Amino acid sequence: MSEIKELEFPLPLIHLNGNSRDRLLEYYTNALLALQEQALVHFNQIDFHPRDYYPLGDDAFSEAQAERLKVYESFKAIQDYLEKHIEHLSS
């Protein structure tokens, strides 16, 4: 008997009234590629520099860095979500 792994969130169940495995796999793969090849690339190209924040006060740049890190972690959470779906649909 295989061990039942507790999931963080439900993953799609392939059945006759739902989308096909191939279609869902294509959708999730396209979303992952767009995130990696477009959103993350462009986000990382933003010239993020203290010179744009120093007039706002001594803590402004560190606060902006902290917020930027939260946004980057959100990108990673989306990537993990998509990858888990792709792994599930590929098996």
- What is the distance of C-alpha 77 from the center of its chain? 4
Tokens of 2: 């295989």
- What is the distance of C-alpha 54 from the center of its chain? 31
Tokens of 45: 């190209």
Q: What is the pLDDT at residue 13?
A: 95
Contact between 27 and 20 (Cβ < 8 Å): no
Tell me the pTM: 0.84
pLDDT digits (tens, 9 = 90+) for 13-61: 999 999 999 999 999 999 999 999 999 999 999 999 999 999 999 999 9
For the chain, the structural domain boundaries read 21-90
